[in-house]
Structure 1
Amino acid sequence: MSQNRNKLIELFIGNSSNVVIHKVLGKATDNLDTHSRYEKEVQNSLKKALKYRNIINPINEKLNEKDVNYIKNKIIRNVKSELTSRIIKGYKNVNLTLIETFVEEFLKQSKII
């Protein structure tokens, strides 16, 4: 069970990171078409992340502090890494200071914290 749980946590982290990445990118663009694509990606990843969250631990129960810290730190690292690489590729107006705010917001929404 532990290996499956670890795999589910990693899948949750991946989809959660994708949610935060696309929220930040959505804030960076003025183009409505691009913004709507980012928003659609946020919704798809959010649905998957919440599904994994429910499998990892019942939604009414809190995760232990060790798991919460691991998840939060890994999401922040993943998002910073991906957004930095996109900035290098030429993306404009990407505000890296929004990352921690969006991660906190997402973790509260998914009842991790």
Structure 2
Amino acid sequence: MVNEQHFREYLEREWAALPDALTACEVAGLLGYHRTTVNSWAAGTKSRLGKLPSIHYFGETVFAKEHLIAFLVSTVNIGFVEKSAKHRALIEAYRQAKEIRDDLVSC
């Protein structure tokens, strides 16, 4: 089980250099999903996952980075098999970073 607060902090550090607003294509590329899947999160059609807040700007669906992080944190412990390879790799990278941090603290 992933600690949601620690995962949030990890994503905020890892994605600090990303723009504060991301298009559906950028989110899809970042997480390894098809744009249609990302747009379904915005529409709330994947009801188990809730809804990812978005706005439409000049024909693009745009997501606030902070909302994307909150969405990923809220779904981190749901249906790991359903996640894309990039999404699973992101969670695994968090777990490895946490193990290293825990080892340093335990000395």
Q: TM-score, normalised by structure 2?
A: 0.31
Query: Larger helix proportion, structure 1 or 2?
Result: 1
TM-score (norm 1): 0.29
Would you tell me which structure has more strand in proportion to its own residues? 2
